[in-house]
Structure 1
Amino acid sequence: MARRAAKREKPGRETPDREGPDHGTPAGPGGEGAPDAAPAAVPWREGRNAAARARLEKSLPAVFPVPVLRHALARPLVPPTPRLAVESYWRHHILRADRLARALAARSGQPEGWTWRLGTASPEAAGPRKGGRGSGTAGEDLSEKGLPFSFRMPPAPFREGPHALGKGHCCVCGQPVYRFGWHRDLWGTGAPNRNAAWHAACVAAWKFWIAPTDHVKELKRRQGHRCAQSGKRLLRTAEIDHRVPLYRIWREERARPWPALLAYWGVPNLQVVNRAIHVDKCAAEAGERASVRRAGGAPDEPFGPAALDLVLSGDPLSGPGEG
């Protein structure tokens, strides 16, 4: 035993003190541990937030939404302007923005003569535009302007040329836009903001509709971190799924009013499921579509029951407290 101990402790080699407080800390100049870089960022953030808070308070109007101001002052980096504060509020309350955008669309209603259509897939098929992109000249073909190229994009009649309301109205919901992109006239001006074409809430909702995977954390929290199909705990690889697939919406539900269609892209038709369940569901849907094609069914031929009632009834979490 003594020989083994002597072999372990070779001459000229010091045994590190494993009980010392600096064990495992890389040595810096003078034999001391490297200084922590995190505290250096604290004075910078405090100075930046102080300047941003002063700028925000200077530009605040006499009337401003209190929840937005509370949210802005509680952020790690305070937004320096009221508009950025409003955008940050809706970006961090995405489910609330989705519900508000659909409610504003229901208030506007479907424009007269509008039907859900898709644009041509290529500029060559659509034909040359005489007025150029976005010029709005008299020679421009407004019938194709603003049309989506895929049924996976939510329908937006007020983005289309024949039904566009112009600046001062939201191109998503059709309602007037007021100061800072707000959806209500809190300042009593009686006129919309002619420099704006989006509500801040509708911007957040639109991004949520076209890319719901960016907000999987919010949807997981809403479901209590439980799989919507199996009831088991959601794994790290869980994925977002549309309860009713969007190809069925295009095939079966195009005749529904436009505000009702938006529910298929919003929270009522979204669920978080574990990846294995999502793979099986996608395989079944692919087989269903293939069988319809083999049977010679037209792309717009209905082959199943309407599904909006199923979506709304299968979403017990929808309510005034979401978001």
Structure 2
Amino acid sequence: MILPTSLAAFCVTHPLLSETATLALMRRSPEPEDWRSLLRGRRPPVRFVHEKATCPLCRQPTYDMGAWWPVAGPATHNRFWHACCVQTWRNWTAYSDLGGYLSARQNWKCAISGEPLQIIRERQIDQPDGTTEMMATRYATRIEIDHRIPLWQVRAEAESHRWPDILRYWGPSNLQVLLPAMHVAKTKQEAADRARARVAA
């Protein structure tokens, strides 16, 4: 049996797998009739349920024993979450914590410009035996996390999306790491695109 702390740690280091597991659980639950009415702001269109022995996010049972026993995580109104659901909700609402994971997935390069997200500087170190050795020091540049497909576009096209797959747009598969200048340029372009869409409507 996997201990709760081990499963929670696995979910933290594998956010995309956590989301996949959560969405699989959500598909086993009835589709909320009003989920499109929750598409406001940047919050995922999710309404928590507070029922005994039920995970508030995926609405599936939590178990005291068996494969889904390791449900350690924050409780909402004394209702425990599955470990994967805990991490998935963090991915969707506190994605700034995914900076390292996303940067590594992009090979430490800006998703738009391809410029490095780290600056590597080498300096010469004198050794006690009279030899010298080059030491590389990595300096992290400032990074910003952005949605590849903007959420306003996701909301505008909600009718073409299905539940719960639309929630992926809030998660790691739709997130990217950008250098600040690239983020500013992308935001300006998206603002222009949004203005044109409003005029066309």
Whether the 8 Å contact between 2:35 and 2:46 is mirrored in structure 1 is: no
Aligned counterpart in structure 2 of residue 218 of structure 1, from 67, 91, 101: 101
Residue of structure 1 in register with 2:36 after alignment: 116
Secondary structure of 2:51's counterpart equals coil
Letter in 2 for 1:169: T
The whole-number CA distance in structure 2 between the counterparts of 1:258 and 1:197 is 23
Consecutive unaligned residues in structure 2, runs of 5 or more: 71-77, 119-140
Letter in 2 for 1:237: R
1:174 is aligned to 2:79? no
Number of aligned residues? 172
Closer, same or farther: CA 230–109 of 1 in aligned 2, 3 Å = farther
The whole-number CA distance in structure 2 between the counterparts of 1:209 and 1:85 is 22
Residue of structure 1 in register with 2:192 after alignment: 287
Structure number, greater radius of gyration = 1
Closer, same or farther: CA 249–110 of 1 in aligned 2, 3 Å = same
The whole-number CA distance in structure 2 between the counterparts of 1:185 and 1:227 is 40
Aligned counterpart in structure 1 of residue 25 of structure 2, from 73, 83, 104: 104
> Structure 1 length as normaliser, TM-score?
0.47
Higher strand share: 2
Consecutive unaligned residues in structure 1, runs of 5 or more: 1-63, 69-82, 119-147, 187-194, 298-323
Alignment of 1:175-194 (within 5 A): 175-179=60-64, 184=68
Residue of structure 2 in register with 1:249 after alignment: 154
Q: Which has the higher contact order (CA 8 A, sep 6+)?
A: 2
Whether the 8 Å contact between 1:240 and 1:271 is mirrored in structure 2 is: yes
Closer, same or farther: CA 256–109 of 1 in aligned 2, 3 Å = farther
Closer, same or farther: CA 238–183 of 1 in aligned 2, 3 Å = farther
Cα deviation, residue 245, structure 1:
0.2
Secondary structure of 1:156's counterpart equals coil
Closer, same or farther: CA 109–274 of 1 in aligned 2, 3 Å = farther
Residue of structure 2 in register with 1:3 after alignment: none
Whether the 8 Å contact between 2:91 and 2:172 is mirrored in structure 1 is: no
Percent identity among equivalent residues? 36
Whether the 8 Å contact between 1:156 and 1:171 is mirrored in structure 2 is: no
Letter in 1 for 2:107: G
Whether the 8 Å contact between 1:175 and 1:183 is mirrored in structure 2 is: no
1:151 is aligned to 2:41? yes
The whole-number CA distance in structure 1 between the counterparts of 2:85 and 2:98 is 16
Letter in 2 for 1:199: H
> Structure 2 length as normaliser, TM-score?
0.72
Residue of structure 2 in register with 1:192 after alignment: none
The whole-number CA distance in structure 2 between the counterparts of 1:203 and 1:177 is 13
The whole-number CA distance in structure 2 between the counterparts of 1:216 and 1:240 is 7
The whole-number CA distance in structure 1 between the counterparts of 2:151 and 2:68 is 32
Cα deviation, residue 249, structure 1:
0.8
Deviations 1:252-275 (A, max 9, x none): 124522111111011221111222
Letter in 2 for 1:229: I
1:265 is aligned to 2:155? no
Closer, same or farther: CA 172–254 of 1 in aligned 2, 3 Å = farther
What RMSD in Å do the two structures reach over aligned CA positions? Answer: 2.8
Deviations 1:118-177 (A, max 9, x none): 3xxxxxxxxxxxxxxxxxxxxxxxxxxxxx7x33111114x1xxxx36121222112211
Whether the 8 Å contact between 1:167 and 1:197 is mirrored in structure 2 is: no
Residue of structure 2 in register with 1:209 after alignment: 92
Cα deviation, residue 206, structure 1:
0.3
The whole-number CA distance in structure 2 between the counterparts of 1:109 and 1:224 is 39
